[in-house]
Amino acid sequence: MAKASEIEEESNIEMGKPYFCTECKRNHTKGKIYKEHAEFARFEDEEENKEELELENDKKVIEDEELDEEIGSDYDDDAELEEAFHELEEMEEEPDYDDDAELVSIDGEPLEGVDAVKKLPGVGEATLKKLIKAGFGSLESIAYTPPSIIQDASGLGEKTTSKLIKSSMQKLNIGFKSAEVVWEHRKNIARITTGSQELDDLLGGGLETGSVTEFFGEFRTGKTQIAHQLCVNVQLKREQGGLEGTALYIDTEGTFRPERIIQMAEGLDLDHNEVLKNIIFGRAYNSDHQVLLIKEAASLIKEKNIKLIIVDSVIGHFRSEYVGRGTLANRQQLINVHLHDLLRLCDIYPDLAVMITNQVQSKPDVFYGNPLQAAGGNIVAHGSTVRLYLRKGKGEQRVAKVVDAPHLPEGEAVFSITEHGISN
């Protein structure tokens, strides 16, 4: 609030003398406070405050525009914009890491798992928790998984997921390599013995890791018996044909029998109690549950030292739940996703072997030759790395035939199913 004396401070008007105020256009007496001038001064202050407020708002708009340019302005909806701000806050909280720095721990060994994921640019505590909860606790699991699956499982946005996958691939040096490097890797692949030397020779040394091996055939051809035997053999020492690991058995038909495991363990002079402890069993009650169990298995593989996953059988629930030609497309697509989940686990964990059993169906238009073929059509055929057809022989004998394998010629092997398991 202004005094009249403050208005004409530099004039020669004497105190108490009237003068004309050029601001409020009225006569004042020097030294007195006038209501009209006070209202004018208050109005003037409000105008100044209003101008300052407008300047601050303009400045804020400019800063927001600069921020949009920094994090990208091509957002389709509010969700992506919220994600960008959330990501920016996390980047401010996390320490700065050199993208080109080698991932090493305190003792000089390469970092693995969660530590490596935490080093990725843009990964704060909130993002890390989301990834771990969704089962993406390693660089391999992020790099080999499609972006849509990571988004659905973790709730992260499209841009964040794309950046994480790209950074993981760079860290793992995923790209082109010479065939010589691939050959060196192939020479070191581990294998699990089936218990039959002839069957092992047919498979090139046993059930190999890093691939999906399918056994299909009629009932009583030995599919489930081989699955039980592999659960025991995977626990053997490497020099005995095992991987010194545990097995994950997903049963869709209700045919898993612990007493059969005990017989096979005793046939190898193993403690059946320890053998049973090292088999993780899951009963799938429908196709959705079956798919869910495989997704949950990803978080157990490292924790439980799982070296073998068995799905017995892969097609049973799908055949019973999807009936008629109208549901065929949906069924095949779900089976395709299911098989690729298994293949992806083999990519993420090279020391993991996957064995699936499959049923057969009869072709009504075949009048000569064998009318039986594997169920699931081309989807299952393309999803399996190695395919073996089992058929009955004389007595305890069974015959295995290689139907498809990228590295094996077609051939047959005879094996037996005895009280103590699979043998020559």
CATH for the 85-172 domain, from 3.40.50.720, 3.30.2310.20, 3.40.50.1360, 1.10.150.20 = 1.10.150.20
Type of residue numbered 90: E
**Dist CA 282 CA 293 (whole Å):** 8
Q: Mean pLDDT for the chain?
A: 82
> What is the pLDDT averaged over residues 57-71?
53
End-to-end CA distance of the chain: 108
> What is the pLDDT averaged over residues 221-240?
96
* C-beta atoms surrounding 351 within 10 Å: 15
- The percent of residues in the chain predicted with pLDDT above 90, rounded, is 51
In whole angstroms, how far apart are CA 73 and each of 1, 77, 91, 123? 47, 11, 18, 21
The least confident of 128-137, 211-220, 386-395 is 128-137
Does residue 412 contact residue 400 with C-beta atoms inside 8 Å?
yes
- Three-class SS state of 206: coil
Side by side, the strands of the sheet bearing 246-251 are: 279-283, 246-251, 306-312, 353-358, 212-217, 386-392, 397-404, 412-418, 421-423
Domain boundaries, the chain: 4-70, 85-172, 189-423
The answer on pLDDT for 209 being more than 50 is yes
| The pLDDT of residue 365 | 77
Burial of 199 from C-beta contacts in 10 A (0-12 / 13-18 / 19+):
buried
The structure's pTM equals 0.71
The CATH superfamily holding the domain 189-423 is P-loop containing nucleotide triphosphate hydrolases (3.40.50.300)
The least confident of 30-44, 121-135, 199-213 is 30-44
Parallel, antiparallel, or unpaired for β 306-312 and 246-251? parallel
394-424 pLDDT, tens digit each? 888 999 999 999 999 989 999 999 999 999 8
343-400 pLDDT, tens digit each? 999 999 999 999 999 999 988 777 777 788 899 999 999 999 999 999 998 888 999 9
| The pLDDT of residue 424 | 86
Annotate 10-66 with DSSP letters as a single string: TS-PPTT-EEEETTTTEEEETT---HHHHHHHHHHHHHHHHHHHHHHHHHHHHHHHH
**Dist CA 71 CA 85 (whole Å):** 8
| The pLDDT of residue 71 | 44
* C-beta atoms surrounding 313 within 10 Å: 26
The least confident of 42-56, 68-82, 241-255 is 68-82
The answer on pLDDT for 146 being more than 70 is yes
